[in-house]
Structure 1
């Protein structure tokens, strides 16, 4: 984990790759739970036998929004933002793309670039670009610009 102790240090890192998250294994159980929570039970995500027969990936694939939901976890296990932080808020997303599917059973990790740090009342808005790599595939499974407010 990379410790970034102060806002000044954070600002000095703008425009740079700052961390890589730990690998996270994506399981069928997690994908099924996500399908239950969202009501998205499309067969490519939850029907293991059919997906093995009909999809070119040899099995089910995770929802794109499941992958997106891992961004906070990736950021949290890769970077610590110091003792003076009272609160971090997910402020939203700008650009999001899913260039490749995420086969269930694979591991993913985030390559984290700090694009910018902007002052806001009471804190700073951080714009992170996170590229989610999938073990064993060439293309990333997600590239997203993730906005976080630091107070």
Structure 2
């Protein structure tokens, strides 16, 4: 795992692959809990029996936003950012969902630092993120995740 303690340490990775997380298995329980939290109970996510007969995937699939919400969890497997006052999810750019993630799939995150800016003491980073699905050619999604890091001086 990489450790970053300052803007200058982060800046060294500009244009470089930062790393890849471990695989995470998407379970039906996780999908159901996400459905409850977001009030999105569409049957393609929550009804395995119906999905088996009516879905083109023949099983339930994870919500696209569930897969997206894994970024902070998987990112923290790649890098340990220390000496922070605060970390903020700032946004997503160029997000494309390319492949459904079926229940039982294993996914992992690949990250590349594409931009870093010092905004009067706040570090703004833009990272190209790609969520791979084990055994699939297409990724679940690609995009640019933006974070703000307030390092302790």
The residue aligned with 1:87 is 86
Partner residue in 2 for 1:125: 124
SS at match of 1:87: strand
Larger strand share, 1 or 2:
2
Equivalence for 1:107: 106
Tell me the equivalent position of 1:64. 64
> How far apart, CA to CA, are the structure 2 residues paired with 1:11 and 1:104?
37
Residue pairs, 1:1-151, within 5 angstroms: 1-82=1-82, 84-151=83-150
Segments of 4+ moved more than 4 angstroms: none
Q: Distance in 2 between matches of 1:133 and 1:34?
A: 20
Structure 2 CA distance, aligned partners of 1:15 and 1:56?
A: 39
Aligned Cα RMSD in Å?
1.2
TM-score normalised to structure 1 length: 0.94
Q: Distance in 2 between matches of 1:63 and 1:88?
A: 25
Normalising to structure 2: TM-score of the pair? Answer: 0.93
- Partner-residue secondary structure (3-state), 1:119: strand
Unaligned runs of 5+ in 1: none
Paired residues, what number?
150
SS at match of 2:85: coil
Distance (Å, rounded) in 1 between the aligned partners of 2:135 and 2:48:
20
